Amino acid sequence: MEFSSKLLERAVNEMSQLPGIGKRTALRLVLHMLKQPKEQTFALSEALQTMRNDVKFCKSCHNISDTELCEICSSPNRKEDIICVVEDVRDVMAIENTSSFKGLYHVLGGKISPMDGVGPHDLNIESLINKVKDGKINELVFALSSTMEGDTTNFYIYKQIQDYKVFTSTIARGISVGDELEYADEITLGRSILNRIPFESSLKL
């Protein structure tokens, strides 16, 4: 792509670093910004900078948060003895949208995937095990996507906490095998949380 301006080229190059944005789309977006009032572009760049600088991860559940303890963890209206284990922040959003779950979450930050070099220690698993060891958790709900990596991760955690007094369940498989949680429709996902089944029985299927 030949550019008439180095400044334009630089902006397009930066924009095209984003996933799913090729050079052409980047050019279209940047040209759009040049047509907009300057303030709009400044507001965008300021929002991104502030987010990058100030956003935090909840010290308890690892959800993205503006405060040390996220809104969910600090809410008095949530059941603190039930924790839904999810892969990432988008899954918290997807489950929250269903309004079917009133417990807390634990965001692992990924799944165990030896193929991609992701082991248990690369994820927020230890802090989850510690919560169980503290004895205040009655139920863990595994809500990872139904993939081989998801199953491996569930099983790894299950093995670690097996000796502690905690009930483990897994979301009902209204979620089809291989599906990523965030793409499931709200009703299916909501129902699969409500109809969760004991984790042990999911192992026998």
| Residues at the site binding Zn ion, with contacts judged by CB under 5 A | 58, 60-61, 63, 70, 73
The distance of closest approach from Cβ of residue 131 to Zn ion in the complex, given in angstroms and rounded to an integer, is: 12
| Percent helix, strand and coil across the chain, each to the nearest 5 | 50, 10, 40
The distance of closest approach from Cβ of residue 88 to Zn ion in the complex, given in angstroms and rounded to an integer, is: 14
The distance of closest approach from Cβ of residue 74 to Zn ion in the complex, given in angstroms and rounded to an integer, is: 7
The distance of closest approach from Cβ of residue 73 to Zn ion in the complex, given in angstroms and rounded to an integer, is: 3
Question: Measured between alpha carbons, how far is residue 58 from residues 50, 62, 66, 105, 131 in Å?
Answer: 17, 4, 8, 11, 14
Closest CA to 144 of 185, 97, 177: 177
The distance of closest approach from Cβ of residue 60 to Zn ion in the complex, given in angstroms and rounded to an integer, is: 5
CB atoms within 10 A of CB 66: 11
Spatial separation of the C-alpha atoms in residues 114 and 124, rounded to whole Å: 16
CB atoms within 10 A of CB 37: 9
Indicate the residue among 58 and 84 with the shorter CB distance to Zn ion.
58
The distance of closest approach from Cβ of residue 75 to Zn ion in the complex, given in angstroms and rounded to an integer, is: 9
Question: Measured between alpha carbons, how far is residue 117 from residues 14, 89, 111 in Å?
Answer: 28, 21, 11
* Residue that is written with structure tokens 């040209």 in the block: 31
Indicate the residue among 30 and 61 with the shorter CB distance to Zn ion.
61
Indicate the residue among 63 and 202 with the shorter CB distance to Zn ion.
63
* DSSP-derived 3-state class of residue 141: strand
